[in-house]
Structure formats: C-alpha cells, structure tokens
Amino acid sequence: MNSGVSFWERAAESADRGRAFAPPRLHAETFASIAHPGRQWLAMKGAAQTRVGWLEQTLAGLDWLAARRGRALALPGHLLTGIEGEEAAFFYLRREGYTVVARRWSAGNLPGDLDLIAWQGPTLCFFEIKARTARDSSPAEAAVDAHKRNVLRRLARQYMRQLPGETVPQARFDVISVYLVQGQKQEITHFENAFGWNERRRDGD
C-alpha cells in the first residue's frame, strides 16, 4: 500500500469497496514504562492522553468520511459550528484531566441546556461553550449575557437537586471560547469561575 496515502483516505477507500478497515494498533512498547514503578503515574497519564487524542482524531476522521460520501448533517452553519466547538471543548477538558459526566444536559421543564458538565476533583463545573469561525469586534465569551447566565444558573440548580446524597458539592460556572478559523490552528480559551450564582458575586450562593 502506498505509504503516502493517509489513514482516512485508506479508510474511505475500504468503505467505498464495502470492506472493513481496522485502525492501527497501539504497540505494547508504547506503555513499556508502566513496568517501572516510579514512572507508573506518568505512563497512565500519557496513556490517557494518547487515548483521548486517538478518540479526537477518530471523530474528526468520521466527520471527514461523512462529508466525503455526502452524508454530512443537513444543519445550518451556526449549529454545525456549535457542535464542532463543543467537541473541541470536550476533548480539551479530557486532556486537562476533567471527568465529563454530561453533554447538552436539559431539565425538560426549563428552557435551555448545559453544554458540558464535568468534575475537577471535588468541584462540579458547568460549562458554556461559545464557538466562532471568525474574530468579531466582541469576543465569543461576551455572548454569555445576563439572561444567559440566569438560564444556566436555573439549570445548574436543577441538576444539583437530582444528585445523590445530602452533601451539596462545590460548584462553579466556566466559559470556554473556541475559535475555528479556517486555515488557522484551533484556539481555545478557558475562563474558570467566569460568573457566580448571582450577578453581585463571582462565587458562593
């Protein structure tokens, strides 16, 4: 096989011919350092990051295959940008060690949704993701106005009410802006504790 042909081009060729295509295997040598006790933690972290990177590449490749074969989602451009931004933020949080527990969570009886919910240690984090394909006069995170913040607070309270146990965890609201400018490297900015439980205080209830 021509070594100049990319993995996803080979996958597409196999799909067009109706054959299954197996992804390349990760060799055991990649994780050989696990055998050394002093390197075990670093090896585990490296393995997790490798796994996240592989998942991210796989998702991007599947999107490429769908577009190539004419099966891309028939959605408006701004919705596709939002989905791509949420995917980028999801993998960013995984790489940073967050445990993502929900995506696009909605309460049913309340308007809106929470883009991502994740734990950072004992802290529960609610994320609002703003994605842009161009840099405007106002930054992406500026779109999280007072009305949007109140919507997110109501949803977060509802989510926390359904958690098991009697202890209420520490929680915060974060905003992640994602710039998906064509021809440029993806840019992600993470604003921790971007706003609090009311408009007068940044944290606390």
Place of tokens 């734990």: 119
Here the tokens at position 192 are: 């921790």
Confidence of residue 157 (pLDDT cuts 50, 70, 90): very high
Whole-number pLDDT of residue 96: 96
Rounded CA separation 42/83 (Å): 32
Radius of gyration, alpha carbons of the chain? 20
Q: Encode pLDDT of 122-149 as tens digits.
A: 999 999 999 988 887 678 788 899 999 9
pLDDT at 97 over 70: yes
Rounded CA separation 27/32 (Å): 9
Q: Encode pLDDT of 184-204 as tens digits.
A: 998 999 999 999 999 875 544
Higher pLDDT, 20 or 175: 175
Rounded CA separation 80/90 (Å): 15
Contact in structure between 193 and 203 (CB atoms under 8 Å): yes
pLDDT at 13 over 50: yes
pLDDT at 161 over 60: yes
Work out the average pLDDT over 168-182: 94
Here the tokens at position 132 are: 């842009």
Place of tokens 């967050």: 98
Whole-number pLDDT of residue 50: 56
Question: For 183, which DSSP code?
Answer: T
Closest CA to 25 of 41, 9, 7: 7
Rounded CA separation 198/50 (Å): 39
Whole-number pLDDT of residue 174: 97
| Domains located in the chain, CATH noted | 1-72 (no CATH), 76-205 (3.40.1350.10)
Whole-number pLDDT of residue 31: 40
How many C-beta neighbours within 10 Å does residue 32 have?
A: 11
Q: Encode pLDDT of 30-83 as tens digits.
A: 444 434 444 454 455 555 555 555 555 554 544 544 544 454 456 677 788 889
Confidence of residue 121 (pLDDT cuts 50, 70, 90): very high
Question: For 15, which DSSP code?
Answer: H
Backbone angles phi, psi at 13, to 5 degrees: -60, -40
Confidence of residue 91 (pLDDT cuts 50, 70, 90): very high
Rounded CA separation 123/117 (Å): 11
**Chain centroid to CA 80:** 14
**Residue 184, Cβ density class (10 Å: 0-12 exposed, 13-18 middle, ≥19 buried):** exposed
**Chain centroid to CA 64:** 18
